[in-house]
Amino acid sequence: MSEQSEATPSAVDPGLESAPEHPGVAQLFAALACGELLAFERLARELDFAPDQQGRIAIASMAGAEMTHFDRLAAEITARGLDVVAVTEAYMPVLTRYHARTTPRNWYEALVKAYIGDALAADFYREIVPALPAAAADVVRETLSDTGHSEFVVPQVRSAIVANPALRSPLTLWGRRLLSEAITQTQEVLATRDELAALLFESSGDLAGIGEFFDSVQTRHAERMRTLGLA
């Protein structure tokens, strides 16, 4: 696909600089921006569960970082002559559905969701970078670069499970549910947003790309569950 040739440094095409950008790029930024906005909203709501000032600050800092990402993506959308309000609104239903189906009922579910959600987003960002035109890849890399805010979760969850082993089983189920809902809603987006699916999976030539993508996400999810002490 000629629109994708910017992603291949070895491509020699004098028309490259002025080639129209793949329309999936703006859609991708819109989907990511909407994801950041809703992640912010949900994290902010979960402040109510924070048992202490440390937890409150940690969750608020994560939420703040989501809005820094949002602002970066919004600037890119605006630079493309698009209206941030309109393009992000289109992704609200599917992302609202994800959060409605994964609403934490307590502090530990909120922590696990923050950690797993952050990591799944980072996985997703990392997987799509190679499929993107260079300029778009830079934006996604930058947006990814300051994650890691959720690392405070690991010792908290691990020590909670040691203190109260009965937490392990429900939190393990919770982690599985987070992954399965994330995959379901991502598939929903890809099924309904042709430009986005084309952008991300055209380079692989067939649908195998999607399968490999989800396999890789699942492998890393399993590692992270072990890190949290959730077998």
Does residue 156 bind a second copy (CB under 8 A)? Answer: no
Residue choice 11, 16, 57, 79 for contact with a second copy (CB under 8 A) = 57
Q: Taking CB under 8 A as the rule, does residue 97 contact a second copy?
A: no
- Judged by CB under 8 A, how many residues of this single chain contact a second copy? 28
- Judged by CB under 8 A, which of 3, 23, 45, 214 binds a second copy? 45
- Smallest distance, a second copy to C-beta of residue 174, A: 23
CB 167 within 8 A of CB 108: yes
Q: Pinpoint the alpha helices (H) of 80-152.
A: 84-89, 92-101, 107-128, 134-145
Residues comprising the chain, all counted: 231
From 65-73, 131-139, 175-183, 197-205, give the range in contact with a second copy by CB under 8 A. 65-73
Give the nearest distance from C-beta 88 to a second copy in angstroms.
Answer: 7
> CA-to-CA distance for 19 and 16, rounded, in angstroms?
5
CA distance 174 to 169: 9
Residue 107 found at the interface with a second copy (CB under 8 A):
no
Taking phi first (over 0 means left), then psi (-120 to 50 degrees means alpha), and beta for anything else, what does residue 147 get? beta
Q: Note whether 31 and 196 are within 8 A (CB).
A: yes
Residue 121 as a binder of a second copy (CB under 8 A): the answer is no
The span from the CA of 60 to the CA of 48, in Å, is 11
If binding is defined by CB under 8 A, does position 142 make contact with a second copy? Answer: no
* 78 forms part of the interface with a second copy (CB under 8 A): no
Residues that bind a second copy (CB under 8 A): 37, 40-41, 44-45, 47, 52-54, 56-57, 60-61, 63-68, 70-71, 74, 84-86, 88-89, 92
